[in-house]
Amino acid sequence: MGFLTFSDFLKLKDAELDPIDFHVFGEAIRMYHNVNQQIKRLLSGFKIKILFLHALMKQAKHLISSPITPP
C-alpha cells in the first residue's frame, strides 16, 4: 500500500465516487491526523525528558568536579 500523492488526490477528486467512498477517505485522513498529533505529543514529551536528564547530568558533573570542603 503506497502513499497518496497530490496527483492521485486530483484523480480521486475528478473521479465519480460514491458518497461512502468519500466518507472512508475522510475517515482515513482523520485517523492519519490523530496518529500524527499523538506522535508529535510523544516526541515533545520525549524532548522535554531528554532536556531534563541533560540538566541533571550537567548538575551532577558540576557536583562531582567541585572540591569537597569540610564544614
Concatenating the DSSP letter of every residue in 3-71 gives: PPPHHHHHHHHHS---HHHHHHHHHHHHHHHHHHHHHHHHHHHHHHHHHHHHHHHHHHHHHHHSPP---
How far is 43 from 26, CA to CA, in rounded Å?
26
Give the pLDDT confidence score for residue 46 in this predicted structure.
86
Give the pLDDT confidence score for residue 14 in this predicted structure.
65
pLDDT tens figures, 15-63 = 666 666 777 778 888 888 888 888 888 888 888 888 888 898 998 888 8
Give the pLDDT confidence score for residue 4 in this predicted structure.
65
The reply to whether the predicted model has a pTM over 0.75 is no
pLDDT for 1 beyond 50: no
